Homo-oligomer: A and B are copies of this chain.
Amino acid sequence: MRALLAILLLVSTSAWSQALPSWNDGTARQNIVEFVEAVTTEGGKDFVAPADRIAVFDNDGTLWSEQPLYFQFLFMLEQVKAAAPKHPEWKDNAAFKALVAKDRKALAKLGMKPVLELLGVANSGMTVGEYDRTIRDWLATARHPKFDRPYTDLTFQPMRELLDYLRENGFKTFIVSGGSVEFMRPWAEKAYGIPPEQVIGSQQEVKFEMKAGKPVLRRGPKFAFIDDGPGKPVGIYRHIGKRPIAAFGNSDGDLQMLQFTAAGEGPRLALLVHHDDAEREFAYDRASHIGKLDKAWDEAVAKGWTVVSMKSDWKKIYAFDQ
């Protein structure tokens, strides 16, 4: 019996040291490991039952890159361009003009809502299957301007390891993104190990109808739910119905999700990814039009949340980095 325990201990110790291999051994990695050890130690004062080990992740800028423009905006640009001939009224639409001009400053000033509304009108009338195909087709062919690779290559290797590490420790992992659920579901399972039913995002209206005896879900022009900023805790409540014990973000759009998570009783992990690596990725924060990190940074400092420096905390950014 004692020999068996010794072996188990050995196995689990070696598992710990193998966890998070792309993370340097700094404060961020230590905070993560200490938190996970605390909530998984049975009999410990901070133990959390597996059913309550809920972890929520922002997507853009937290799990994959978001520069020079949210990748969904680049997809939307194609969609909106394709639909433009049918919508002469867009000529005077501020979001349309900013999108076509790729005017990041104007897009950031407008915010997610009017841009999503434009996309809503562009794909309105499609069945959910037709819409899904337009996304898969785009993802299969489009390439990132800086890295000349498919966008789905641009997920952060250390965050993928973090997702695995949390799940190995009994966590259930969710994406909570301002983007549309449909844009993430086709690849989130392969990239992050997160199945479609654990992806929370903005939601366009969808209607059930019978067409020639067959049930069909057809997209309407309006958004039913915007999962950004104060919408994120609402999305979490509606979809999960529990307060997470760990939340991961990178911008002011994640502030309320982090506040909501951190305000629960017991041990909490609130973490921000800081984009400070212009060479391997991009460097931006308070002054950025995309993924602005300003208020959330101040709050992180004031509350002692974990801030990850991509430059010094991560050995590599992407899986393809040497």
A208 and B256: CB pair below 8 A? yes
Roughly how many angstroms separate A128 CA and B234 CA in the complex, as a whole number?
11
Number of identical protomers: 2
- Whether A197 touches B238, Cβ cut-off 8 Å, given contacts A208-B233, A208-B256, A260-B208, is no
Q: Does A240 contact B (CB under 8 A)?
A: yes
Choose among B128, B203, B237 the residue that contacts A128 (Cβ–Cβ < 8 A): B237
Q: Mark A79-102, 1 if CB is under 8 A from B, else 0.
A: 000000000000000000000000
A238 and B206: CB pair below 8 A? yes
Q: Does A117 contact B (CB under 8 A)?
A: no
Choose among B217, B233, B259 the residue that contacts A237 (Cβ–Cβ < 8 A): B217
Residues of A155-199 at the interface with B, using a CB-CB cut-off of 8 Å, are 172, 174, 181-182, 185, 189, 195-199
- For A240, list chain B residues within 8 Å (CB): 196-197
Q: Does A43 contact B (CB under 8 A)?
A: no
A230 and B207: CB pair below 8 A? yes
Roughly how many angstroms separate A190 CA and B50 CA in the complex, as a whole number?
15
Roughly how many angstroms separate A234 CA and B215 CA in the complex, as a whole number?
11
